[in-house]
Amino acid sequence: MAPKRSDVITQGFERTPHRALLKGTGVPGEQMDKPFIGIASSFTDLIPGHIGMRDLERFIEKGVHTGGGFSFIFGIPGVCDGIAMGHRGMHYSLPTRELIADMIESVAEAHRLDGLVLLTNCDKITPGMLMAAARLDIPCIVVTAGPMMTGRGAEGRRYSFVSDTFEAMAQYKAGVIDEQQLQVCEDKACPGAGSCQGLFTANTMAILTETMGMSLMRCATTPAVSADKRRLAFASGQRVVQLVRDNITPRQIMTRAAFENAIRIDLALGGSSNTVLHLLAVAREAGVDLPLEVFDELGRQTPQLASMNPGGKYFMEDLDAAGGVSGVLYQLRDRIADNPTLSGLTIRQIIDSISEVDEEIIQPVDRPVRPEGGIAVLFGNLAPKGAIVKQSGVSEKMMNFEGRARCFDSEEEAMKALMGGDVKAGDVVVIRYEGPKGGPGMREMLAPTATLMGLGLGDSVALITDGRFSGGTRGPCIGHISPEAAQGGPIALVQEGDRIKLDIPNRRLELDVDDETLAERRRNWTKPEPKIKTGWLARYASVVTSAYTGAVTKAE
């Protein structure tokens, strides 16, 4: 085998102190010549998607040692977006993506690890780990810990996190369900370990990771705490050692073709709009040119093939049984580019290995759920640099909509108005100063969007924001508006009562105010004081870029 990165700390008399410290951790001397594999684990007791990782760590370790390597576990932080939702904590969610990438880079470089197994599951953790893999470009493999099973109730009812907590909360407020029904939802929505059951951001990112070839086949959809997931963890540990020996690195896998394949699968499933931010950020680290417009170009060419929760009826356990990611690749086979994967198979070989797909769940291209993909990119005088809508969750009635602007300078102001009954049919709720800089941290707006649905306003009220949405969002909700309000974007100039026009089929988002009036408003606009002035979020706000570039950090 060629010289290893870890030779720098294990070989030669000059490295006696380094070997002494390694032996102090329990590494036997005869193991010093083996590939050193880091297991970056985001285990925590705080997140359902991560509580089963101690078990997976054991099986990854077994795989690494069976493959001829020596493993070292190190910790990576995780934030649960659901728990962080609707309060100060959500400011920290997206920024942790950058922290995670930086921490993995720091540990891998400081200790000269030869390869990495990236054990992840939830929203910002998976893209942060992919960013680190692309940046380091050393042999890496991703293990996503798997989706949660749905909760079960009487008469076969299935419960899931978003519709049976956030939307149920608004239904209770509206008198649609009573306190006892609300309590049942709370008790049934999250029955155990795993990422939330629908095609929210965590599961969408797991699917895109497998599509790009950065995890083994079926890793994305195999349920948490299953024997299959243990076996995948073991196989991933074995495989990473061979990747080190063959010097197969992430940038050989994460090509432009890999990203376009991932976007197509996202579109075909109607996945989370957050993936736009994350794929742009990962592509930047991989040195791949991926303009925002590509998402819309592919969206017009790629039909939606599955009706997945939250906008549809199927859950991750259904998608897994139907054929998983490989099944979706098979149905899109004439539109998917060939590309290598870390499994050793190419995408074409994976497609050729498929013999059966449940076409009730993963429909064929000649019988799609919708003729276009799940995500659309909008432009217009309200979003000169673009905005994102998950059109798979929008009813036909709301694909074209015009309404009266109701302006709020924070999520909290908007929620107060919604819960107080101050938002009416025909309104467009404008939530601004929640972008990457203005938030800071580009908070998710699941609470307002779920409240709209729970109050029965999903077909009569639109919501636009320079913040972002949970993968669980459905309805006419447009996010990522760029430039953001804190940078003086047009959304900062909207006034109460202005008319706003939404035209999703033609990809337009327009403020019905003439240029002269907007110019006068801009002259009178004053940039507000930062919402957070201390701590690392203040530093983050000073270096984070706009949503249309992935909300990444860069040195000024």
| 219 closest CA partner among 201, 232, 205, 235 | 232
Look-up: residue for tokens 């991933």? Answer: 236
Report the Cα 497 to chain-centroid distance in Å: 34
Cβ atoms of residues 101 and 131 within 8 Å: yes
Other beta carbons within 10 Å of 320 = 21
At 237, the amino acid letter reads G
Three-state DSSP state, 353: coil
Q: Is 308 helix (H, G, I), strand (E, B) or coil?
A: strand
- Cis bond upstream, residue 483 (ω within 30): yes
Q: Is 123 annotated as a binding residue?
A: yes
Would you mind telling me the total number of residues written for the chain in this entry?
556
**Alpha-carbon gap, residue 138 to 250, rounded angstroms:** 7
User: 443, 436, 383: which is closest to 545 by C-alpha?
Assistant: 436
Q: Residues 6 or more apart from 114 whose CB is under 8 A from it? A: 4, 5, 6, 35, 36, 37, 69, 138, 139, 244
Instruction: Decide: residue 444, CB within 10 A, 0-12 exposed, 13-18 middle, 19+ buried.
Output: buried
User: Is residue 326 annotated as a catalytic residue, yes or no?
Assistant: no
Q: At what angle do helices 274-286 and 201-211 cross, to 10 degrees?
A: 40
Check the annotation: does 81 bind a ligand: yes
The catalytic residue among 93, 392, 470, 546 is 470
**CA distances to 127, 249, 277, 281, 388 from 274, in Å:** 10, 26, 5, 11, 9
Which long-range contacts does 491-494 make (Cβ < 8 Å, 24+ apart)? 491/382, 491/383, 491/430, 491/432, 491/464, 491/466, 492/432, 492/433, 492/525, 493/518, 493/521, 493/522, 493/525, 494/382, 494/405, 494/407, 494/430, 494/432
- What stretches of 287-440 show up as alpha helix (H) in DSSP? 293-301, 316-322, 324-331, 347-352, 411-419
Of 130, 194, 125, 114, give the one whose Cα is nearest residue 161. 194
Which residue in 226, 297, 292, 239 sits closest to 267, CA to CA? 297
Percent helix / strand / coil, the chain, rounded to 5: 45, 15, 40
| β pairing state of 427-431 and 400-408 | parallel
- Which secondary structure element, helix H or strand E, spans residue 535, and what is its range? helix 535-543
98 in a known ligand binding site: no
The verdict on whether residue 124 carries a ligand-binding annotation is: yes
Which amino acid makes up residue 295?
F
Contact indicator for 174, 455 with CB cutoff of 8 Å: yes
Q: Give dist(CA 490, CA 512) in Å, integer.
A: 12
**Between β-strands 508-511 and 499-503, what pairing exists: parallel, antiparallel or unpaired?**
antiparallel
By annotation, the residues acting in catalysis are 470
Binding residues for Mg(2+): 81, 123-124, 444
